[in-house]
Structure 1
Amino acid sequence: MSRFILAALSCALSVSACAQAPQAPGSDATAAKSTTEAKPATAGSAESNVRNALKGLEPNLSVDYVGKAPLPGFQEVIAGGQLLYISDDGRYLVQGGIVDLKEKKDLTGESRALSSFRVNLLKSVPTSERIVFAPPNPKYTVSVFTDVECGYCRKLHSEIGELNKQGIAVEYLAFPRMGLGSKDHKEMISVWCADDRKQALTDSKNGKPVPTRDCTNPVSKEYALGQRIGVSGTPAIYAPDGTQIGGYLSPTAMRARLDDLAKADAGTPAGMK
């Protein structure tokens, strides 16, 4: 059963992303600490039931949020960077899209708790620790967890000029998908330690050798944060509101997706954001 819950918490990979290598539960890759300490749940409460149920299935699972779900009788849960619904008594787990047929809304896609969770984690990484490709006065800024060896990451980066023309700034965070200590982890450290990180990243993605370097760097920290936010493949692209919009997307498709999100956000009452 614990294997089932771990499988359920694994994000379904898009065909436009390179899969992450398997990681053992409780490894350093998933050891990022919470930015806030959760308050103890009241014994016998729905939150307590949910946390106890998940602990019984997987003791090392990090549960970041439990709150009332839009689905009656269920709690909304963020665990391992994924969104789940678990019944108040801790018996039933629902994963996947939940649609309100009356309101014609995808409740899962509109989870404010998950978006807020992602935004707060992404804000913890300063611009100085990212590799940024931005046009003057960008319309949108996306955060992209990237790997130097992934084919889709390379395809995305080959179109960085067109993305900038579309008014999109790309801020890269490191996610060596083969894990800590791997060849691409070491190569990404060299990239982040280079005098010209933008050129080093471009060279690495083009298969050109990057001089081996080491320094105080954020690569391992960003990888751990990606694990906690739910990244399971690269590229993983996040909009300013925390929505994951890809997988690889073409520049025109990414601009259209960002425009759609902006329109939807503009139509949301201020008190609901």
Structure 2
Amino acid sequence: MKRLVFAVLSSFSLAACAQPADGTPQAADGGQKISVGSSAPAATKPIAVPAFASGTPEARVRDVLKALNPRIRVDSIEPAAIPGFRQVVAGGQVVYVSDDGKYLFQGSLLDIVHKKDMSEAALAKVRGEVLKTLPLADRIVFAPVGTPKHKVVVLTDVECGYCRKFHSDIAEYNKRGIEVEYMAFPRAGLGSADYRKMVSVWCADDRKKALTDAKNDRAVPSRTCKTPVDMQYNAGLRMGLEGTPMLLTTDGQFLGGYLPPDALKQRLEQLDAERAQPASGA
């Protein structure tokens, strides 16, 4: 059964599960959040503050959503493929609101003729913009020898089973020409033991070794520093993460959860072929 509209609206507050109402990061295990990272990381802010002329459908939809939930943080409002509706991306979700602000619905909007999920395309566009705010230097990169054939962004946790399974084959992904760019998403939340372990990984002198050790239950020396863990965690929420690992293309297209090396290679090759089709048919 789909969630009630109330749940949809309340979930627009991105940190509802991880933070109390005052915005203070909350530890899932009752501990205290480590003070790391910048005070206002880019990925905790909107991509851009939408500015809509008064009286436009976009402004009306924004005001309606703000009235329903003052904490809502909207990433985009654009005309929907359905006449009379705006397409809204907020909190890693896509909803559709009528231009008069009276109706709202959530769900995948499918273009039957072109066999395209319009909702996923809208979210992928926002994911791509979010990824641009996250520097490559802040990611833990496992690259193949030579020029990569493909690159994927993987939001990972050091405790989840499928994240560990994925990493156990990291050499196989690299052998297939796939570069893996890891970003942190501690599933237990900011301030949890899981979070503190991931901070230690990102603070390590050799982050690749530390990540491998953590995923194999080997001790990682406890350290604190200015890390991107908070920023990447918040980015994962904004990008609609529902579980780890989350595999994305570097421009924000969703590839899936765990995929074995051959399956991931096949999916990336398929995506390359799909992207080439419009150019070949032009």
User: TM-score band (shorter)?
Assistant: 0.7 to 0.9
Cα distance, 1:83 vs structure 2:
1.9
User: Mean Cα displacement is larger for which, 59-68 or 47-56?
Assistant: 47-56
**CA–CA separation in structure 2 for the residues paired with 1:28 and 1:138:** 40
Cα distance, 1:224 vs structure 2:
1.8
2:8 to 1, 5, 21: 5
Instruction: Give ranges in structure 1 of 5+ residues lacking alignment.
Output: 12-19
The alpha-carbon distance between structure 1 residues 191 and 8, as it changes in their structure 2 partners (threshold 3 A), is closer
Match of 1:132 in 2: 141
Equivalent residues in 2 for 1:83-94, closer than 5 Å: 83-94=94-105
**CA–CA separation in structure 2 for the residues paired with 1:4 and 1:177:** 21
Letter matched to residue 36 of structure 1: A
- Residues 113-137 of structure 1 deviation map (CA, whole Å, 9 limit, x = unaligned): x333211221222222110111021
SS of corresponding position for 2:200: helix
**CA–CA separation in structure 2 for the residues paired with 1:37 and 1:246:** 30
In the alignment of these two chains, the number of paired residues is 260
Equivalent residues in 2 for 1:45-60, closer than 5 Å: 45-60=56-71
Letter matched to residue 160 of structure 1: I
User: Mean Cα displacement is larger for which, 156-165 or 43-52?
Assistant: 43-52
- Residues 165-211 of structure 1 deviation map (CA, whole Å, 9 limit, x = unaligned): 22111100111111111101110111111111111100100111111
Q: Is 2:153–2:248's contact at 8 Å kept on the other side of the alignment? A: yes
1:229 to 234, 239, 248: 239
Letter matched to residue 98 of structure 1: L
Match of 1:255 in 2: 265
Match of 1:192 in 2: 202
Match of 1:22 in 2: 17
1:98 to 105, 109, 117: 109
- Residues 92-112 of structure 1 deviation map (CA, whole Å, 9 limit, x = unaligned): 22322222334443323333x
Match of 2:181 in 1: 171
- With normalisation by structure 1, the TM-score equals 0.85
Match of 2:50 in 1: 38
Runs of 4 or more, structure 1, over 6 Å off, are none
**CA–CA separation in structure 2 for the residues paired with 1:93 and 1:157:** 41
Instruction: Give ranges in structure 2 of 5+ residues lacking alignment.
Output: 26-40
- With normalisation by structure 2, the TM-score equals 0.83
Q: Is 1:21–1:179's contact at 8 Å kept on the other side of the alignment? A: no
Q: Is 1:5–1:57's contact at 8 Å kept on the other side of the alignment? A: no
Cα distance, 1:225 vs structure 2:
1.9
Cα distance, 1:2 vs structure 2:
6.9
Q: CA RMSD in A?
A: 2.7
**CA–CA separation in structure 1 for the residues paired with 2:205 and 2:117:** 46
Match of 1:149 in 2: 159
Cα distance, 1:62 vs structure 2:
0.7
Letter matched to residue 190 of structure 1: S
Q: Percent identity?
A: 48
The alpha-carbon distance between structure 1 residues 94 and 146, as it changes in their structure 2 partners (threshold 3 A), is same
Match of 1:15 in 2: none
SS of corresponding position for 2:46: coil
Q: Is 1:25–1:60's contact at 8 Å kept on the other side of the alignment? A: no
